[in-house]
Amino acid sequence: AIQAIKAIRGRLLSFVAEPAGPGDTSSYRLIEDGLVVVRDGRITEVGEAADLLRGLPEGTPVDHHPNGLITPGLIDTHIHFPQTQVIASYGAQLLEWLNKYTFVEEQRFADAGHAERNATFFLDELLRNGTTTAVVYATVHPGSVDAFFAESERRGTAMIAGKVMMDRNAPPGLRDTPRSGHDESLDLIGRWHGKGRQRYAVTPRFAITSTEEQLEAAGALVREVEGVYMQTHLSENLREIETVRGLFPDARHYTDVYDRYGLLGERSLFGHCIHLEEDEVRRLSESRSVAVFCPTSNLFIGSGLFDLDRLSRGAAPVRVSLATDVGGGTSYSMLRTAAEGYKVLQLGGQNLPALAAFHMMTRGNALSLGMGDEIGVIEPGRFADLVVLDSRATPAMAHRMETIDGDLDEELFVLMTLGDDRAVAATYVQGRLAWERG
Ligand code: GUN
Ligand code: ZN
């Protein structure tokens, strides 16, 4: 149960705007000894501990993290919960990786017990890594979505997820039909979309595994249901793009395949977006769609290098979010993910300042989901989903921190470059302690 009132004390960091560059102190608010007051899961007050402690009712519990840097809970905008036993699979690029590992494992989710055990493991692992909201692919089996949302609902986390729709180019055990994919999705929407903090994402896996009829059905769902999300994969791997060209000879390009069925829009998330043509960038921009940067996955599967500058700073800017893409991705940690993002951008002669990375993991990803009024910042009215980070979590981090004299940029850069689950001291969901490092 959620406590009526409690408070969490420590160094508070929350963004108010997108950082213009390193050292942009106007983009965030830092309170050295701050207090977050929580009532019924929501933040009611934020400020100096010295001021706020006096106003608290007698006996209010205060969790004090004197060495902790408290930020909003981290947000992962693309991850596959049925791939916790696919992560770290050797030696294949996308299409072979899917057939050899992923489609084999995902068939096991026909078993409700398997789905439930994996949902439990998955959410434990997210919280251990400081991630409190994620946008999640289940499998083609409706039961996998029920298992996932039931576990999320039990924990009070805000999650977005959907049943994968796949009616061709997959093993028979992983295929639905345009009709069953539509009807089962609609059923799940009825059960879960807007139930507590759960929301639904219509999830055609990608153009290769859906017929035109199925993409049409996915478009109908997006049009018919208020507030649903849409997630899929786009332009990840060169052989994938060639295959799509062969399957949809009339489409102008890969993005056009989705565009024709009404799948672009401000609640649409497109994983990867690596090898886009200029016209695709223009359509993603016009439609306010989100391109999801998945650096550990793009490196591990050998897909290519995301071009952040081209997408976000061009004449037609595209909204961009950051994600792990486990199990193509190799880490559940958004800190690790930001570190690999930095390296990907370095290879393209670009950069990712630590402030920009932390903004992306919190407020930026929240805005990309249209959830800025619920999560992503530490401000009154938002849910008290918080993570307590420890910049000295390992000997290497503590040693490196000795040279940093109160410089927040540098500290955040050490946290993202050397940090991972070990740097997560505690995670709060609606003000309730959901994980604490031993
Ligand atoms: N494209 C279609 N399905 C997948 C998937 O499961 N992972 C990744 N990385 N790309 C995909
Ligand atoms: Zn993916």
Q: What is the pLDDT of residues 78-97, one digit of tens each?
A: 999 999 999 999 999 999 99
pLDDT of 3 reads: 56
Question: Is 301's pLDDT higher than 50?
Answer: yes
Radius of gyration of the CA atoms of the chain, in A: 21
Structural tokens at position 424: 């997560």
Q: Is 206 in the pocket of ligand 1 (CB under 6 A)?
A: yes
> Is residue 2 predicted with pLDDT exceeding 90?
no
Position 231 scores a pLDDT of: 99
Q: For domain 5-72+377-436, give the CATH number.
A: 2.30.40.10
Ligand 1 centroid from CA 233, angstroms: 7
Cα 8 → chain centroid? 25
Question: What is the residue extent of each domain of the chain?
Answer: 5-72+377-436, 74-332
Q: Which of 233, 331, 337 to mutate to test the pocket of ligand 1 (most atoms within 8 A of CB)?
A: 233
253 Cβ inside 6 Å of ligand 1: no
ipTM above 0.85, yes or no: yes
Task: Give 271 Cα–ligand 2 centroid separation in angstroms.
Answer: 6
Residue 43 has pLDDT above 80, yes or no: yes
Q: Do domains 5-72+377-436 and 74-332 have the same CATH topology?
A: no
174-201 tens-digit pLDDT: 999 999 999 999 999 999 999 999 999 9
Q: What is the mean pLDDT of residues 375-397?
A: 98
236 lines ligand 1 (CB under 6 A): yes
Whether the CB of 101 sits within 6 Å of ligand 1: no
Share of the chain above pLDDT 90, in %: 98
Is the pLDDT assigned to residue 4 strictly greater than 90? no
Supply the pLDDT for residue 1: 46
pLDDT digits (tens, 9 = 90+) for 147-174: 999 999 999 999 999 999 999 999 999 9
- Of 87, 96, 98, 270, the residue with max ligand 1 atoms within 8 A of its CB, to mutate for a pocket test, comes to 98
Report how far ligand 2's centroid is from the alpha carbon of 154 (Å).
25
Rounded average pLDDT over 44-57:
97
Other beta carbons less than 10 A from residue 222's beta carbon: 19
- Taking the C-alpha atoms of residue 70 and residue 66, their distance in angstroms, rounded to an integer, is 10
Give the list of residues 6+ apart from residue 383 with CB closer than 8 angstroms, or none: 41, 42, 43, 158, 197, 374, 375, 430
Residue 78 Cβ < 6 Å to ligand 1: no
How much of the chain, in percent, has pLDDT values that exceed 70?
A: 99
Cα torsion 362, 368, 373, 374 to 10°: value is -60
* Residues contacting 87, CB < 8 A, separation 6+: 326, 327, 329, 330
74-332, CATH topology level = TIM Barrel (3.20.20)
Across the chain, mean pLDDT equals 97
Beta strands 319-322 and 42-48 are unpaired
Give the residue-averaged pLDDT of 412-423.
98
**Cβ 297 under 6 angstroms from ligand 1:** yes
Alpha-helical (H) ranges within 166-307 are 178-192, 212-224, 238-247, 254-259, 278-286, 295-300
pLDDT tens digits for range 192-251: 999 999 999 999 999 999 999 999 999 999 999 999 999 999 999 999 999 999 999 999
Cis bond upstream, residue 327 (ω within 30): yes
Ligand 1 atom closest to 325 (CA)? 9
Among candidates 248, 256, 418, which has minimal Cα distance to 336? 418
286, amino acid identity: E
pLDDT digits (tens, 9 = 90+) for 314-355: 899 999 999 999 999 999 999 999 999 999 999 999 999 999
